Amino acid sequence: MKEVLKSLTFKNGDAEAKQRPVFCIVMDGIGLGKDNISNAIKNSRTPTLDMLMSKYPCLKLKAHGTAVGLPSDDDMGNSEVGHNAIGAGQVFAQGAKLVSNSIESGLMFNSDSWKEIASVKDTGKTLHFIGLFSDGNVHSHIDHLKAMLAQAKVEGIKNVRVHILIDGRDVGETSALEYINPFEEFLASLNGDGFEAKIASGGGRMNITMDRYEADWSMVERGWKTHVLGEGRQFASAKEAVETYRSELGCIDQDLPPFVIAENGTSVGTIEDGDSVVFYNFRGDRAIEISKAFDDKDFDKFDRVRVPAVTYAGMLEYDGDLHIPSRYLVSPPEIKGTMGEYLANTGVTQYALSETQKFGHVTYFWNGNKSGKFDEETETYEEIKSDVIPFEQRPWMKCAEITDRLIEVANEGKYRFMRVNFPNGDMVGHTGNYLATVVSVEALDLQLARILEVVDKLGGVALITADHGNADEMCEIDKKTGEPKLDKEGNMKSKTSHTLNPVPCIIYDNKFADNYKVIEKDTYGLSNIAATLVNLMGYEAPEIWDESMIEVL
């Protein structure tokens, strides 16, 4: 039996209010950052946004970390989990828990990606694992690594090598041997019957491989030379390497220099043609660059010297916008009971619109990672083709064309609920080009003004929000001072990633706002949007959803 939404009663203009159009406008990458030189939004001319935030209810929504199902509040949000949360009205596990569930259920090992990785069993080549080596559970968990090693043996893979990135940041700063020693015992218990697994290389997480935000590509280059090429100072064991470096340098774990495990002067585990490689971190920020080095055919950040033809996979998709990496082991969560499904079952007509860059986010991700429609009769999805050009060269992207089409469709009066994504703030923000990002934000603001005119003309209501921040913080921020980091010449250190800032949620309603009151709380996240939207349409929200941000009077 299909579940449908139950009607609410509005105190004023009940019948008319329940027929008016409801818009959800997602300003991708538009967060609420500090008012400083790093904030391209604050430093743009945005009269429409300024008016909305000063005259209409504007709530702050959490759009990162646990609020969108990620392991910790140190994890930045992204467009995929953001639209999952908006469209589902609920929070689903996205990071460590998602991986653990996938391993425990066996879904990971039944996936096509794992089967491709495991194909080395037929060729006699080597399976390599690279990742943060601890149980800190912020970027990775050693238990995930152990489970994959055990499965590799079960499946008949003969040769496995592990390249360890020593933590000392999410765990004790000199705790490396607390992980290395038991792990060596674990490997010893697995080895035999034709199976051989060894630690092949390593180094401290802040010295090699795990750079983020393209702050220091030399870290990734050192990691490449260590893991792939087997170049570096040689030791008989990881334990010997750690103890030697500590004695010689007095450094803590995260700063340990790279090392290579060797036998008879030769690395035990270089990465060669035909091998498989898994980067087993589940958190994306420090996994993207090494994934690019393995996966990007046009990579040019450093000379890789030798680029082996490998089957590469990340634990998750680390950047859904850029699809990095192209292969990953754990798929997005199974999400049921979405707003799109409830509206379709109820007979509410829906329209989804964006350009190519974010079209999947207002369709596939919005609908809980579901391809296709819930109801062909009541739903229409429309994609405007994105330009194939660097975003900083045309920072307005397709925002005007998107608005043209939204206005045209709204005036037809066919759809009760319309959702639209403007990619500008995110896609241009990712380039790190500050001036272009300012232009993108100002272009978006112009389109908001056009849309609001139509909302008023039709007696509608618009909920204006974002899926995460980006353009609100265009450079690295000093954690101690909260101010932008500057180089020796006084220039901002560019940042191209998403932010940890909240996002706005503005309710624009000039006709029926007296039917409800906005409830102010500091605990709302993106998952509270769905209940709010269906309330604005005159329906009760399902109990499985997170609470509405309005109370119908």
The contacts found for 183-186 with CB under 8 angstroms, 24 or more apart, are 183/133, 183/142, 183/146, 184/237, 184/238, 184/239, 186/146, 186/149
255 or 481, which is more confident:
255
Q: What is the mean pLDDT of residues 381-405?
A: 95
Query: pLDDT value at position 491?
Result: 80
Mean pLDDT throughout 71-80?
Answer: 85
Nearest-10 Cα torsion for 45, 49, 55, 61: -130
- The more confident residue out of 494 and 181 is 181
Q: How do the residues of the chain divide into helix, strand and coil, expressed in percent and rounded to 5?
A: 35, 20, 45
Overall average pLDDT of the 170-189 stretch? 94
Identify any residues that bridge with 384 across adjacent strands, giving them in sequence order: 355
- Please say whether the dihedral angle defined by the alpha carbons of residues 204, 208, 212 and 216, taken in this order, is positive or negative: positive
Neighbours of 64 (CB within 10 A): 27
Dihedral Cα 301, 302, 307, 311, nearest 10 deg: -40
For the chain, domain boundaries: 22-93+334-552, 96-314
pLDDT in tens, 205-246: 999 999 976 878 999 999 999 999 999 999 999 999 999 999
| CA of residue 89 relative to chain centroid, distance | 18
pLDDT band at 321 (very low <50, low <70, confident <90, very high): low
Tell me how far apart the alpha carbons of residues 273 and 284 are, in angstroms, rounded to a whole number: 26
For the chain, percent of residues with pLDDT exceeding 90: 83
pLDDT at residue 462, rounded to an integer: 98
Find all residues with CB under 8 Å of 143, minimum gap 6, and list them. 100, 135
CA distance linking residue 26 with residue 421, whole number of Å: 5
User: What one-character DSSP code corresponds to residue 331?
Assistant: P
Reference 433, options 407, 459, 470, 465; nearest CA is: 470
Of the candidates 177, 172, 204, the residue with the CA atom closest to the CA atom of residue 286 = 204
The half-sphere exposure of 257 on its side-chain side, counting CA atoms within 13 A, is 17
pLDDT tens figures, 463-509: 999 999 999 999 877 777 877 777 777 787 788 778 999 999 999 99
Highest mean pLDDT among 5-14, 54-63, 322-331 belongs to 54-63
Active-site residue, 331 included: no
Distance CA 309, CA 231 (A): 19
Contacts of 228 (CB under 8 A, 6+ apart): 270, 271, 304, 306, 308
CATH class of 96-314: alpha beta
The 10 Å Cβ neighbour count of residue 4 is: 15
* pLDDT recorded at residue 291: 97
pLDDT, position 353:
98
Q: Is there a contact between 307 and 277 (Cβ–Cβ < 8 Å)?
A: no
> What pLDDT, in 10s, does the model give residues 517-535?
999 999 999 999 999 999 9
Q: Output the CA angle 69-75-77, nearest 5 degrees.
A: 65
Task: Report the distance separating Cα 70 and Cα 417, nearest Å.
Answer: 29
Q: Name the average pLDDT for the chain.
A: 94
At residue 480, the pLDDT reads 76
Task: Output the pLDDT for position 370.
Answer: 85
Report the chain's terminal Cα–Cα distance, integer Å: 31
The Cα 248–Cα 12 span in angstroms is 77
Q: Identify which of 113, 304, 149, 324 has the alpha carbon closest to the alpha carbon of residue 227.
A: 304
**Active-site option among 44, 54, 72, 79:** 79
Mean pLDDT computed over 61-70: 94
Closest CA to 340 of 315, 311, 369, 383: 369
Between strands 259-263 and 196-204, the pairing is antiparallel
Burial class (CB in 10 A: 0-12, 13-18, 19+), 382: middle
Fold topology of 22-93+334-552: Alkaline Phosphatase, subunit A (3.40.720)
Question: Rounded to an integer, what distance in angstroms lies between the CA atom of residue 283 and that of residue 71?
Answer: 8
Residue 46 dihedral angles phi and psi, to the nearest 5°? -130, 70
Q: In this predicted model, which residue has the larger pLDDT, 489 or 293?
A: 293
Length, in residues, of the chain: 553
With a cut of 70, say whether residue 5 has pLDDT above it.
Answer: yes
| pLDDT (average), residues 419-448 | 95
Q: Write the single-letter amino acid at 329.
A: L
> Quick one: what percent of the chain has pLDDT higher than 70?
99
Residue 141: CB atoms within 10 Å = 22
Q: 432 or 410: which carries more pLDDT confidence?
A: 410
Torsion sign over Cα 233, 235, 237, 242: negative
Q: Residue 333's pLDDT is what? A: 80
For 327-377, the pLDDT digits (tens) are: 999 987 878 999 999 999 999 999 999 999 999 899 988 999 888 899 999
C-alpha separations of 276 from 145, 196, 205, 271, 550 in Å: 15, 15, 22, 8, 51
Q: Is the pLDDT of residue 116 over 70?
A: yes
Cα separation, 64 vs 497, in Å, equals 13
Given this chain, do its domains 22-93+334-552 and 96-314 carry the same CATH topology?
no
pLDDT at 137 over 70: yes
**What is the per-residue pLDDT for 300?**
96
Asked if the model's pLDDT at residue 84 lies above 90, the reply is: yes
